[in-house]
């Protein structure tokens, strides 16, 4: 185990509070705008991990003249403020996840759909794989700070 990962595991909050948005943007030296708030609110409200296009389509209901470029910039601002994460896959557009605590994903190989797993993040999982792993990597000059686990499969027909 190691401190960075323990800190990740101890975070209790998943989706950030609304007031959190202002604080987080501030901390990153960014301004709170109507567009960013709308993008954040939408991302916070959905279970799925939408693409920029999907966010654009949804946010347009509130701000009809918002541009796709602004949505991209807003998503980037959220990532920079550590309120969201960008998930990339081999095919199709990137997807955005606004849960900022450590957690796992399942991904459907047929549809590309990504969902969160309710399973609690296990900071000891790498030790269960091999108790000497983290130390031996450190000795080889690689400092492990985090890990990602993703389950692949498909939804039943």
The DSSP symbol for 86 reads E
Nearest-approach distance from CB 27 to DNA, in angstroms: 12
Indicate the residue among 69 and 108 with the shorter CB distance to a second copy. Answer: 108
Dist CA 73 CA 77 (whole Å)? 6
**114 counts as binding DNA under rule CB under 7 A:** no
Residue 111: name its binding partner from a second copy, DNA, none (Cβ under 5 to 8 Å by kind): none
User: Given candidates 19, 29, 64, 141, which one binds a second copy under the rule CB under 8 A?
Assistant: 141
Per-residue DSSP letter, 131: T
Closest CA to 149 of 102, 85, 112, 109: 102
Rounding to the nearest 10 degrees, give the CA dihedral for residues 134, 2, 16, 85.
-20
**Closest among 12, 137, 77, 128 to 149, alpha carbons compared:** 128
Footprint of DNA (CB under 7 A)? 22, 30-36, 51-53, 63, 65-70, 72-74, 76-77, 88, 91-94
Footprint of a second copy (CB under 8 A)? 86-91, 94, 106, 108-109, 117, 119, 122, 125-126, 128-130, 133, 137-138, 141-156
């Amino acid at each position: 185990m190691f401190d960075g990962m323990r800190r990740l595991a101890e975070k209790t909050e998943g989706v950030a509070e609304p007031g959190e948005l202002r604080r987080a943007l501030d901390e990153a030296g960014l301004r709170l705008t109507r567009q960013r708030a709308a993008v954040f609110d939408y991302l916070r409200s959905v279970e799925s991990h939408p693409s920029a296009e999907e966010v654009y389509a949804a946010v347009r209901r509130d701000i009809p003249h918002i541009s796709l470029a602004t949505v991209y910039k807003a998503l980037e601002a959220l990532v920079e403020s550590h309120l969201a994460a960008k998930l990339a896959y081999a095919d199709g557009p990137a997807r955005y996840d606004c849960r900022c605590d450590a957690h796992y994903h399942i991904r459907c190989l047929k549809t590309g759909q990504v969902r969160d797993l309710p399973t609690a993040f296990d900071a000891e999982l790498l030790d269960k794989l091999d108790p000497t792993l983290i130390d031996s990597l450190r000795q080889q000059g690689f400092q492990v700070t985090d890990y990602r686990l993703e389950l692949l499969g498909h939804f039943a027909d």
